[in-house]
């Protein structure tokens, strides 16, 4: 591994800016959906694709982006991703129809893959020990800031400027992010660059088709084609000398356990984050501004969680215990949110949203920092890309499944598909209580999923020797010579 360029603080700053900006627009877009739908005359699945398409594109490209960062430079991949994200967001601001907007959002998702995968690898390759824990805790905190401020800031901007100028503002922030890459440190593997094109293409196409099929209610042809391509990807990777994904990485049960934890945390949090704003505006009649402010009850605790978990880990609390607490809080929060009803106010939502938010916040940053303890430095991009693929893929899956089940349950109760589409889109209220009943059913399902994931994660993390307290232990994925590890950043 080679490292050159600016000081670690500059690297940390530019990565944090990326992890602030992308989650902010992600969570903010959910508040913008009713306005976008009214402006472009869109409802139902087509409108939801503004959010879903972004996650589909991002999750499909995360792994490849991380592996390319290992080969050609993590800062370079970060910069290319930032350029694509910024340009696509600017195009979306001027979109004249839903097709152009959705295409632009998918382009922004591809760019986000480069920023997220390369950003996590930049931190892992620059910091070690307690400094790494602090760096990833800061990453989780700023991501939490983005999630927390996204709905409220976007709600305010949409009310004052409209959704188009809101997108333009985020494109402007992207320009600052691009400029900052020229001051960040570069790092890459010492392996001679050789791209596994067969693996990259089969993975992107396969995962993309599977996610597309899920968002379309299990469309058979793309689902079968996607699964076939993913099977081909496994065969290709096992024969490749420079694989996009080395399956030895998944041979460590502890790394796999943290990966399962990442998936479960997203699945337990995504439903409320993405679909609750539509319910509050469509059923309760709240404005985008009021909805954004209420969503702070969910997102503000995400600011606190990463710092708390980082401090506790560096003071001897096992990471597994914190992940267990995170999943337990998410299970409890989803169960508590079943109090949801058309006349509910912010006070009634406070406890369940605070519990959900803090549960998610505990795991943000913690998962990446702990999982990276079992990865050799030359593969940090691959590992970061895999973790972000898991996170992005579960986001896409959660959105697709939650949205599809919401629609199916509402349709079954109302018996009118067209009217049900308007109810779920937030444009027809909830006269028969179908939307509320569907929400409660899915919240109980999310609570059960998080409770089950707690058991699975503890079984996986319980195998083998525990990781060193500050991340010094490495797994069998690769033995790391001391000379290859960069000096930790001292504050």
pLDDT in tens, 127-142: 877 888 888 888 877 8
Query: Which tens digits make up the pLDDT trace of 79-132?
Result: 999 999 999 999 999 998 888 999 999 999 899 989 988 888 888 887 877 888
User: Which of 189-198, 227-236, 297-306 reaches the highest mean pLDDT?
Assistant: 227-236
Mean predicted confidence (pLDDT) in 309-316? 88
Question: Please, which pLDDT band fits residue 192 given cuts at 50, 70 and 90?
Answer: low
Position 69 scores a pLDDT of 86
Task: Please report how many Cα atoms fall inside a 13 Å half-sphere around the Cα of residue 189, on the Cβ side.
Answer: 24
Q: Give CA–CA dist 410/415, Å, rounded.
A: 8
How far, in Å, CA of 410 to CA of 441, rounded? 11
Give the range among 309-323, 388-402, 442-456 with minimum mean pLDDT.
388-402
CA geometry: angle 92, 303, 295, nearest 5 deg? 60
CA 310 remoteness from chain centre: 19
pLDDT of residue 491: 34
Overall fold of domain 7-195+242-462:
Growth Hormone; Chain: A; (1.20.1250)
Assign residue 296 a region: left if phi > 0, alpha if psi is -120 to 50, beta otherwise?
Answer: alpha
Query: Tens digit of pLDDT for each residue in 10-34?
Result: 788 888 888 888 877 776 677 788 8
Question: Could you tell me which residue, 55 or 205, shows the higher pLDDT?
Answer: 205
pTM exceeding 0.75: no
- Cβ atoms 356, 227 nearer than 8 A: no
**What are the extents of the domains in the chain?**
7-195+242-462, 196-241
Query: In DSSP terms, which residues pair with 369 in a beta bridge?
Result: none
Radius of gyration of the chain (CA): 21
């Amino acid at each position: 591994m080679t490292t050159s360029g600016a000081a670690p603080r500059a690297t940390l700053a530019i990565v944090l800016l990326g992890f602030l900006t992308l989650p902010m627009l992600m969570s903010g877009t959910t508040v913008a959906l009713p306005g976008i739908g009214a402006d472009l005359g869109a409802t139902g699945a087509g409108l939801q694709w503004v959010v879903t398409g972004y996650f589909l594109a991002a999750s499909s490209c995360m792994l490849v982006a991380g592996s390319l960062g290992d080969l050609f430079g993590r800062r370079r991949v970060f910069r290319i991703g930032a350029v694509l994200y910024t340009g696509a967001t600017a195009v979306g601001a001027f979109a004249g129809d839903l097709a152009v907007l959705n295409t632009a959002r998918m382009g922004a998702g591809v760019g986000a893959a480069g920023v997220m995968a390369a950003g996590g690898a930049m931190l892992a390759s620059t910091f070690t020990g307690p400094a790494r824990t602090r760096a990833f805790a800061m990453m989780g905190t700023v991501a939490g800031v983005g999630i927390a401020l996204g709905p409220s800031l976007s709600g305010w901007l949409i009310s004052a400027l409209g959704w188009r100028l809101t997108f333009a503002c985020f494109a402007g922030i992207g320009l600052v992010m691009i400029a900052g890459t020229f001051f960040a440190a570069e790092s890459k593997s010492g392996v001679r660059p050789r791209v596994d094109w067969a693996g990259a293409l089969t993975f992107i196409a396969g995962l993309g088709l599977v996610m597309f099929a899920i968002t379309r209610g299990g469309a058979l042809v793309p689902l079968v084609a996607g699964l076939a391509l993913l099977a081909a990807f496994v065969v290709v990777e096992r024969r490749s000398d420079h694989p996009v994904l080395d399956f030895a990485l998944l041979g460590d049960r502890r790394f796999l356990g943290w990966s399962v934890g990442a998936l479960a945390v997203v699945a337990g949090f995504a439903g409320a984050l993405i679909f609750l704003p539509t319910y509050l505006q469509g059923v309760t009649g709240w404005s985008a501004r009021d909805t954004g402010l209420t969503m702070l009850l969910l997102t503000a605790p995400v600011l606190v969680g990463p710092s708390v978990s980082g401090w506790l880990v560096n003071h001897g609390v096992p990471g597994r215990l914190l992940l267990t607490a995170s999943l337990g809080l998410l299970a409890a929060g989803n169960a508590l949110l079943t109090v949801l009803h058309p006349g509910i106010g912010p006070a009634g939502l406070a406890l369940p949203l605070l519990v959900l938010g803090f549960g998610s916040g505990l795991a943000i940053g913690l998962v990446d920092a702990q999982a990276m303890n079992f990865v050799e430095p030359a593969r940090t991009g691959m590992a970061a890309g895999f973790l972000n693929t898991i996170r992005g893929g579960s986001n896409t899956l959660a959105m697709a499944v939650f949205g599809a089940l919401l629609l199916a349950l509402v349709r079954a109760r109302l018996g009118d598909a067209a009217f049900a589409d308007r109810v779920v889109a937030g444009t027809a209220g909830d006269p028969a209580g179908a939307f509320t009943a569907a929400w409660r059913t899915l919240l109980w399902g999310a609570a059960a999923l998080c409770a089950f994931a707690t058991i699975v994660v503890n079984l996986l993390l319980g195998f083998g020797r525990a990781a060193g307290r500050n991340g010094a232990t490495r797994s069998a994925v690769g033995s790391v010579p001391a000379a290859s590890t960069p000096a930790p950043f001292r504050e």
